[in-house]
Amino acid sequence: MLNPRRIDQALTAGSLGVSRRSFVTTTVGGAVGLALLPGMASAQAPKPGSKPTEQPLAFVTIAKDGTTTILCNRMDMGQGVETGLAMICAEELEADWSKVRTGFGDQKAAYVDPLFGIHLTGGSNSVKNSYQQYRELGARTKAMLLASAAESWGVPAASLKAENGVISGGGKSAGYGEFFDAAMKGTVPEAVTLKDPKTFKLIGKPTGLVVSQAKSTGTQAYGMDVQLPGMAVAVIQRPPVFNGKVAKLDSTEALKVKGVKAVLPVALDRGGQGVAVVASGYWAAKKGRDALKVDWDLGGVAKPDTAALTKQYLALAKTPGTPAPKPEFQADASAWAKAPRKITADFVFPYLNHAQMEPLACTVDLKADRCDFYYAAQMPGIDAMNLAKTVGLKPEQVQVNVQMAGGGFGRRATPATEWPREAAAVAVALAQAGKPMPVKVIWSREDDVKAGYYRPMTVHRAEIGFDAAGKISGWQHRIVSQSILKGSPLEGFGYQKGVDGTTTEGMRDPYEIPMNLSVHHPDVNVPVLWWRSVGSTHTAYVMETLVDEIAFATKQDPVAYRLKLMEGNAKADRHRAALQAAVDKSGYGKRKLKPGQAWGVAVHESFESVVAYVVVASMKGKGKDRQPVLQEVHAGVHCNLCVNPKAVETQVQGAAIIALATTMPTHRVTFKDGVVEQNNFYDMAMPRMPDAPKVMTVSIVPSNDPPKGMGEPGLPPLAPALANAVARLTGKRQRELPFSFA
């Protein structure tokens, strides 16, 4: 996760590739000043109500008929934050929810994350970081409406009441739309009184997404759907190995394809080169690309190979790495070697593709003095700076129009602005060729599978000593994984003392155990990126399967043993509550399962929310073709105050299905001589409807504490819970994902 203090340090060190001044004046906006960036506020910091992030007019618009549009300062990729943030604002605004509509902000100052001070959709931070902000935005808007009505009617504002989009008092009433324009010309209040949570009408109530009807009827527009007058469509032929370059190009046959307008060499991310085929539509562009003849220069380019990397990583994991800098990872674990019982285990996790439903697409409209971009942007501020450099304009001449995304899971947040910059390069090449026109660059599924960014391949090695009672005397642990942050513009945010914090997140907690953790970060010619729940995708699996294995080895109930390991940890109250919620709902310990079925348990905290799973699984098939069947999934969730229970439920359900995918045969990305071996979903297993559990429940622990994130935490504990059930059914511990029964 990103740390505000580390952001300030990154700006100080210049690791974003821009100066502090240019970052603040272009990405965050000159008006926001330094006060928005934690650790950078001066004595003359703006008063509350004067920052762009606190200006109602940047977020709320009310039409004469009362239709209220509330803009989201993030990108929505299906997690429902455009509805969640609107609910928070509308609660304090006392808006008529039936008239609320949503939209997106852009790269301007108002739409930064109010805690981090940068434009960011990620880390499950949307509701968590903007909860207070959107409450105050709603309260400020309401206060300004009341002031305007009071002035119009010649009565004290205190005598008026605002409710359900209507202001009333003194025998008069009128809708918000009557006063909005005048109200927004008034003074933004410096301080506002927020509602008592006991009086909430929207927050905490299960609410459908504002865009549900559009999505379910096929009318919702996504980044892929942008259409501009005179627009062309382009696809890019990329080298078979990352960073390859064009040695020889024959475009003769491609240019003969009906609809093809141009064939242009373009610069790619990370120094590679590709060839763009520009046409009147996607199919013509694809056919033109198929007709290209390209000889690639792969000299000096490293060609990763999964088999060789696995061998290398396993060997590295046996040697001490760079110590993880957190104190809880620096315990003396040497006693493990003398313990009466031991576990030595190696775990292997593959590269993974994000597999978002909507492939990447970016539309560029380049003019001499302005450039508009249309795409699903997770970091539009940083993107705007990078894109301005690519098209040769000033940042203020670039406009990023944030679109709805059909899934993302981290793929749309590349710190170097990889795929939008490639689209910008196509637009520039067209202009230089004397053929300026708006252009949409589309990635096919095969493009993204074979030439995208991936979750890093990772190996863990654990050496654990314990006694007959399950008391752990030492836990020596090593992780081998590429760093996501090292060498990127975000290196200063979480790469400390030679260790990428995204690699180790999720280790140890909430268990009070003596762990010594070190890390190796090999350099590999494979671009890597965060993947839904980032490091917890592998750390949760390792922790929860090993803890379960110790419980089994010492003949202890897996739930009771976990609770025992949490003893003395005051921070584990939420873990205990989430685990108990799942246990209670599932009937664990109170009902007998059918023959051939087994329980599986896991609990994990990520992004400050805790999810526990109690699952029921069985097996089907024989021999190496055996596969688990996930019969039931019962989730216990502690995310503090739950703004929208329906959204939390759907996020947990979706995350569980993605986690199930990681256990399925062939769900991985592998390399042979530098080339990705997979092409599409037909050779990279994905869950189908019959694979979904027959029963899935989500129990949310009540809380009035400020909300935490829920976009990602539902994913990490599902795979280990299933693995623990499988171990009881087969007697074999699954040390590798996806599962193997060979």
pLDDT bracket for residue 8 (50, 70, 90):
very low
Q: What is the pLDDT of residue 25?
A: 34
As given in the structure block, the two tokens for residue 424 are 């910008």
User: Using one digit for the tens of pLDDT, what is the confidence trace for 479-503?
Assistant: 999 999 998 878 888 999 999 999 9
Q: Which residues does 368 contact at the CB level (< 8 Å), separation at least 6?
A: none
Of residues 10 and 394, more confidently modeled: 394
Q: Which residues does 722 contact at the CB level (< 8 Å), separation at least 6?
A: 600, 615, 617, 628, 630, 660, 663
Q: What is the pLDDT of residue 623?
A: 87
Q: What is the pLDDT of residue 274?
A: 98
Backbone angles phi, psi at 246, to 5 degrees: -75, 120
What's the DSSP call for residue 564?
H
Backbone angles phi, psi at 459, to 5 degrees: -125, 135
* Averaged pLDDT score across all residues of the chain: 93
Helix or strand or coil: residue 361?
A: strand
Share of the chain above pLDDT 90, in %: 91
Helix or strand or coil: residue 183?
A: helix
Is the pLDDT assigned to residue 27 strictly greater than 60?
no
- Sole residue written with tokens 């991936």: 454
Q: CA 153, 157, 160 angle in degrees (round to 5)?
A: 80
Is the pLDDT assigned to residue 1 strictly greater than 70?
no
Q: CA 89, 92, 97 angle in degrees (round to 5)?
A: 65
Distance CA 520, CA 489 (A): 21
Q: Cβ distance 207 to 644 under 8 Å? A: yes
User: Using one digit for the tens of pLDDT, what is the confidence trace for 407-417?
Assistant: 999 999 999 99
Distance CA 94, CA 14 (A): 44
Q: What is the pLDDT of residue 48?
A: 61
Is the pLDDT assigned to residue 39 strictly greater than 80?
no
Calculate mean pLDDT across residues 583-605.
Answer: 97
Distance CA 664, CA 48 (A): 51
Q: Cβ distance 638 to 701 under 8 Å? A: yes
Q: What is the pLDDT of residue 45?
A: 43
Calculate mean pLDDT across residues 144-166.
Answer: 97
Q: Cβ distance 205 to 410 under 8 Å? A: no
Distance CA 520, CA 460 (A): 10
Calculate mean pLDDT across residues 378-397.
Answer: 96
User: Using one digit for the tens of pLDDT, what is the confidence trace for 717-734?
Assistant: 999 999 999 999 999 999
pLDDT bracket for residue 170 (50, 70, 90):
confident
Q: What is the pLDDT of residue 736?
A: 98
Distance CA 349, CA 238 (A): 26
C-alpha atoms less than 13 angstroms from C-alpha of 65 in its C-beta half-sphere: 5
User: Using one digit for the tens of pLDDT, what is the confidence trace for 273-301?
Assistant: 999 999 999 999 999 999 999 999 999 99
Q: What is the pLDDT of residue 47?
A: 57
Residue 630 pairs with which residues in a beta bridge? 617
Calculate mean pLDDT across residues 626-650.
Answer: 98
Would strands 499-500 and 293-297 be described as parallel, antiparallel, or unpaired? unpaired
Calculate mean pLDDT across residues 662-689.
Answer: 96
Q: What is the pLDDT of residue 742?
A: 85
Distance CA 353, CA 148 (A): 53
Task: Using alpha carbons, list the distances in angstroms from residue 728 to 478, 545, 731.
Answer: 27, 12, 6
Task: Using alpha carbons, list the distances in angstroms from residue 116 to 109, 119, 362, 650, 696.
Answer: 12, 8, 26, 27, 35
Domains located in the chain, CATH noted: 4-209 (3.30.365.10), 223-299+360-442 (3.30.365.10), 317-352+454-730 (3.30.365.10)
Share of the chain above pLDDT 70, in %: 93
pLDDT bracket for residue 144 (50, 70, 90):
very high
Distance CA 650, CA 654 (A): 6
Calculate mean pLDDT across residues 208-223.
Answer: 94
Q: Go through 659-691 and write b for each residue having 16 or more CB atoms within 10 A of its CB, e for each that does not.
A: bbbbbbeebbbbbeebebebeeeeebbbbeeee
Q: What is the pLDDT of residue 180?
A: 98
Q: What is the pLDDT of residue 50?
A: 76
As given in the structure block, the two tokens for residue 355 are 């597999």
User: Using one digit for the tens of pLDDT, what is the confidence trace for 315-368?
Assistant: 999 999 999 999 999 999 999 999 999 999 999 999 999 999 999 999 999 999
pLDDT bracket for residue 270 (50, 70, 90):
confident
- Sole residue written with tokens 């019982």: 341
Q: Which of 207, 153, 216 is nearest to 179 (CA)?
A: 153
